Amino acid sequence: MSDTATAGLSRLIDAVLEAEASERDRARVETTRTPRLNVEIEDPIAWTALFGYEAERYFTDPAFYFEQFLRQKLWRFEHFEDDVPITLEVPAWLGHYPEYTFLGMDVRVTPKGVPIIQRDHPMSQSPDLGLLAPVDFGSSGWMPRALRWYDDLLRLADGRLTVTFMTWNRGCLDLAVQLRGYENLVLDFVERPDFVHGLVGFLADQRNRWYTARGEYLGEPIEATWMADDWVGVPYVSPGAFADFVLPAYLAIERHHGVIGGFHSCGNQTPMQCHLLKLRSLETFEVSPWTDVAQSVANVPPSKHLHLFVHPNDVVVDSPERMEEKLRARAEHLRGRRFSLGTSGLTPLTDDSRAFVDRVKRWLGLAREVFAE
């Protein structure tokens, strides 16, 4: 980096350190008001729109990524008064789907940040586990790239900020669907159940082995993990198929890590909640925009925490009156429950970033008002 670029990065790090030490941030850390509110920005799609860059550069130029990540961190902190503190961490992130490359699938991103994942893996034509090689922490898929990325970001941080290594976020079902294709896998549930058990078990085992290697590489113990499986939802997968084919893999992951810190699916999780309760360490249950709030309150014991995500349209499309109506409907079901509330990933729908910010602020203000009553 040039001296000018180095000085610019140093100023950005100074700004993040100053924000993290501020009274404003301390108030977010120490707040006891409930529910805690969280604004999610769709990363990187929203940021490419707000800052006018191409996503490929974000994931290939470490100096640009580092600086841009700090700018985004500061922008969010300055514009949205939710309950999420700014942190001193920079994730060595390469997008939402690097795990797919570990299994031989190609992953690309459009200039606007939309991921494109290969759909014609050889396994899509043949239900043969022999087509999958064991995942090697040092060499499979993007792992050499991920290791270089981490080292590059560590150098840029220069000990002033914490760089966190990437995680394996997917559970098992999303990967199985991408390998076989949705229609093939659903037929496999009926015609080749032993194959499905073998495939999902293999994926869970590779995930666990990867985390063991990650811990060894970083010199850290294996700790809690978070999982995402967007195909976990009715009508795409029945509760019975989930319990038979997917839940055993989740239990194996839980045994390996000790704790499942959270589980995400964009789909309708309501009929799966009785099975997800078998993950004894899962203390927070996500209520996605497609998951029924009232039924979730009935299904999930009061000892568990609920985290509700509202649909992006609730924030970026709805009128203030409609926003308030939806918030009040949720509040009615949630009286007496421990819960937090956030948006799903938001993206501005026009080039007017001011209008986008104003809409988010309006939703936050209404949420504060409604749930304070």
Three-class DSSP labels, 303-371: CCEEEEEECCHHHHCCCHHHHHHHHHHHHHHHCCCCEEEEECCECCCCCCHHHHHHHHHHHHHHHHHHH
> pLDDT for 125-138, tens place per residue?
999 999 999 999 99
Q: For residue 133, give the DSSP letter.
A: P
Q: What is the pTM of this model?
A: 0.95
Distance of CA 288 to the CA centre of its chain: 13
Question: How confident is the model at residue 323, as a pLDDT?
Answer: 98
1 pLDDT tier (thresholds 50, 70, 90): low
Question: How confident is the model at residue 7, as a pLDDT?
Answer: 77
> pLDDT for 141-184, tens place per residue?
999 999 999 999 999 999 999 999 999 999 999 999 999 999 99
Question: How confident is the model at residue 223, as a pLDDT?
Answer: 95
* Residue with token string 């841009």: 68
* CA separation for the pair 266, 286 (Å, rounded): 9
Question: How confident is the model at residue 25, as a pLDDT?
Answer: 96
CB atoms within 10 A of CB 42: 17
Percent of the chain with pLDDT over 70: 98
Task: Confirm if 261 and 171 have CB atoms less than 8 A apart.
Answer: no
* CA separation for the pair 299, 262 (Å, rounded): 17
Mean per-residue pLDDT, 293-315:
97
Question: How confident is the model at residue 232, as a pLDDT?
Answer: 97
Task: Confirm if 118 and 105 have CB atoms less than 8 A apart.
Answer: yes
> pLDDT for 172-205, tens place per residue?
999 999 999 999 999 999 999 999 999 999 999 9
Q: Which DSSP helix (H) or strand (E) runs through 144?
A: helix 143-157
CB atoms within 10 A of CB 222: 14
Query: Residue 3 pLDDT more than 60?
Result: no
Query: Which positions ≥6 away from 291 have C-beta within 8 Å?
Result: 267, 268, 269, 270
* Residue with token string 């509040």: 331
Q: Which DSSP helix (H) or strand (E) runs through 296?
A: helix 293-299
> pLDDT for 211-270, tens place per residue?
999 999 999 999 999 999 999 999 999 999 999 999 999 999 999 999 999 999 999 999
For residue 57, list its beta bridge partners.
none
Question: How confident is the model at residue 6, as a pLDDT?
Answer: 77
CB atoms within 10 A of CB 1: 14
Percent of the chain with pLDDT over 90: 97
* Residue with token string 């093939």: 184
